[in-house]
């Protein structure tokens, strides 16, 4: 049953892949620590460069996964030291992390968050090893109709879990799917929405899309924050550099509970680190906050979201690897990256491409240890990244974005397209959209249409096939339940949530 893992370690332990796991962890931590750049931006900016190295699929994936998990580690820096979360997943980290830093315990706080991240990620990677092959075995029975229902379920779970505005999440996903329809239709060879431009015949390039959507829009957003304080002014001193064993043991309950919780939340399609952090923090607070110290610098309040963050990052690989349905925006980007290699993640990957599936999982084990080893002693070095001024950071991102897109086909059309998508992404973000549904829709859109059309062509046009099997019917019901619950729950809770929102 664990043959894939043994083969995977064989792949991941090759000198090249070990080096890439290390490089990914290092780059990821650095990019995650950069102010305003979360994991998804880090991967978007670094991905084209990973391609130019001409790596085989499993090596590229190992590098990108290292960047992903590394960025989750790095994201905590600005949360703890500056009270500025690097991305949505790190919001909860600020609640107890920053008070700790203000008490002169920044060093131990960083150390503790590295240890909790390690524990959370370890729990989730073990979970991934155990459950992914099982789920893959179930998923082999999925036909096109089941996959279509599964994608609908993923979108509705995302619309609900992403929080504040389900309508905008849904619109974002629809826009993403629509962008995926641009180009030649695979079934008939008809050109759709290309407006006679040959550059669009192959659709909108994945790299152009994510660099525009994330990196360029980030540049524009950063201008707004340029006036606000930058890291140089009020970075608290790190204090003692290491976290003591006593402090770690004090938080062990919070760590493993949140690790498990984070893993489960990460597995659910469409829900990522932000939900995991929030749920684990509130759970831990309810369980252990006897003296009312949470929010004032309680170490357990820092350990819980950090363990959950990283656990959900690893957990979101489960649906991505076994079903081809990403569990978060960042895994959607990784999924798109795999598709560039003509590998469609799904149940067959464990049997047909075990070196990719196993190599990735094995490299997560290795990367996790590398990250702990890097982050404990080097926290002070990484923290200095926070003081990089925006006037260096922004032009550097611009160069990386331009070169990354230009080297695809050595033409300028892609660059103009990237700028247009960047403005589009900026407007969406200003209008309160999250970009994760857009990228999820874009990555899944093509598969969704293919599966729908394949299902209907099997049934000769009878739409009944879409909910005939037990699996697909269950998924439709689950999707519908998810969409109805947010309307029902507030009424059941007697307007409690409305007061919170207000």
Partner 1 sequence: MRIAADRLLGLALIGLAAFIAVQSLQLQVPFSYEPVGPKAFPLGLAALLAVLSLVLVFKPGEDGEWPAPALALRLLGVLGLLLAYALLFTRLGFMPSSFLVVAALARLFGASWPKALVTGVLLAAGSDVLFTAGLDIGLPGGTWLADIL
Binding site for partner 1 (CB under 8 A): 49, 52-53, 165, 167-168, 170-171, 174-175, 177-178, 181, 185, 187-190, 192-193, 216, 219-220, 222-224, 226, 389-392, 394-396, 398-400, 402-403, 406-407, 410, 412, 415-416, 419, 422-423, 430-432, 449, 452-453, 456-457, 460-461
DSSP assignment of 332-388: HHHHHHHHHTT---STTHHHH-HHHHHHHHHHHHHHHHHHHHHHHHHHHHHHHHTT-
Smallest gap from Cβ 225 to partner 1, in A, equals 10
Beta carbons within 8 Å of 477's beta carbon, 6+ residues apart: none
**Quick one: 178 or 492, whose CB is closer to partner 1?**
178
Structure tokens at 40: 């998804």
User: At its nearest, how many Å lie between partner 1 and the CB of residue 209?
Assistant: 17
Choose between 354 and 437: whose C-beta lies nearer to partner 1.
437
Q: Smallest distance from the beta carbon of 263 to partner 1, in angstroms?
A: 32
CA-to-CA dists, residue 111 to 43, 136, 190, 392, 404, angstroms: 24, 36, 56, 28, 34
Q: Is the dihedral of CA 39, 42, 44, 47 positive or negative?
A: negative
Other residues' Cβ atoms within 10 Å of the Cβ of residue 488:
10
- For residue 320, how far is the Cα from the chain centroid? 11
Q: What minimum distance in Å lies between the beta carbon of 391 and partner 1? A: 4
Cβ-based nearer residue to partner 1, 377 or 395: 395
Assigned token pair, 481: 């339940």
Handedness of CA 78, 84, 317, 132 (dihedral sign): positive
Q: How far is the CB of 282 from partner 1 (least distance, A)?
A: 24
Minimum distance of partner 1 from residue 320's CB (angstroms): 23
Q: Which two tokens stand for residue 362?
A: 């094995």
Name which of 140 and 399 has its Cβ closer to partner 1. Answer: 399
Nearer to partner 1, 10 or 163 (CB): 163
Q: For residue 381, how far is the Cα from the chain centroid?
A: 25
At its nearest, how many Å lie between partner 1 and the CB of residue 420?
10
C-beta of residue 117 within 8 angstroms of C-beta of residue 73: yes
Which residue number, 366 or 414, has a Cβ lying nearer to partner 1?
414
Of 119 and 447, nearer to partner 1 (C-beta) is: 447
């Amino acid at each position: 049953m664990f043959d894939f893992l043994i083969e995977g370690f064989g792949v991941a332990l090759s000198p090249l892949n070990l080096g890439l796991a290390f490089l990914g962890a290092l780059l990821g931590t650095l990019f995650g620590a950069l102010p305003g750049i979360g994991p998804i931006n880090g991967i978007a900016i670094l991905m084209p460069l990973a391609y130019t190295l001409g790596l085989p699929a499993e090596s590229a994936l190992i590098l990108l996964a290292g960047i992903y998990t590394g960025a989750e580690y790095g994201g905590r820096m600005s949360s703890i030291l500056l009270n500025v979360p690097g991305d949505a997943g790190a919001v909860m980290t600020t609640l107890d992390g920053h008070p700790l830093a203000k008490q002169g315990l920044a060093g131990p706080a960083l150390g503790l968050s590295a240890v909790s991240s390690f524990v959370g990620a370890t729990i989730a990677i073990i979970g991934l090893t155990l459950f992914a092959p099982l789920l893959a075995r179930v998923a082999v029975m999925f036909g096109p109709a089941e996959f279509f229902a599964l994608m609908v379920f993923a979108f509705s779970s995302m619309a609900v879990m992403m929080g504040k505005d389900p309508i905008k999440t849904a619109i974002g996903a629809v826009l993403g799917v629509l962008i995926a329809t641009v180009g030649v239709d695979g079934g008939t060879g008809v050109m759709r929405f290309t407006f006679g431009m040959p550059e669009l015949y192959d659709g909108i390039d994945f790299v152009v899309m994510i660099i525009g959507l994330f990196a360029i829009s980030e540049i524009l957003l950063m201008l707004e924050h340029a006036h606000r304080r930058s890291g140089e002014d009020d970075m608290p001193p790190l204090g003692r550099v290491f976290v003591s064993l006593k402090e770690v043991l004090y938080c062990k309950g919070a760590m493993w509970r949140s690790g498990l919780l984070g893993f489960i939340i990460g597995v659910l399609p469409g829900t990522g680190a932000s939900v995991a952090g929030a749920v684990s923090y509130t759970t831990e607070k309810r369980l252990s906050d006897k003296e009312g110290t949470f929010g004032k610098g309680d170490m357990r309040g820092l350990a819980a979201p950090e363990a959950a963050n990283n656990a959900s990052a690893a957990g979101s690989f489960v649906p991505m690897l076994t079903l081809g349905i990403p569990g978060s925006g960042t895994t959607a980007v990784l999924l798109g990256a795999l598709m560039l290699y003509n590998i469609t993640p799904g149940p067959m990957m464990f049997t047909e491409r075990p070196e990719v599936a196993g190599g990735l999982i094995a490299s997560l084990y290795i990367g996790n240890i590398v990250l702990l080893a890097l982050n404990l002693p080097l926290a002070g070095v990484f923290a200095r990244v926070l003081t990089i001024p925006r006037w260096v950071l922004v032009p550097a991102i611009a160069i990386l974005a331009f070169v990354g897109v230009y080297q695809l086909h050595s033409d300028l059309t892609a660059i103009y397209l990237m700028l247009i998508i960047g403005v589009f992404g900026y407007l969406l973000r200003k209008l309160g959209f999250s970009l994760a549904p857009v990228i999820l829709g874009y990555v899944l859109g093509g598969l969704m249409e293919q599966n729908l059309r394949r299902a209907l062509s099997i049934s000769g046009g009878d739409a009944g096939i879409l909910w005939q099997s037990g699996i697909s019917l269950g998924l439709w019901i689950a999707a519908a339940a998810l969409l109805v619950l947010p309307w029902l729950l507030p009424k059941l809770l007697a307007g409690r949530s409305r007061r919170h929102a207000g």
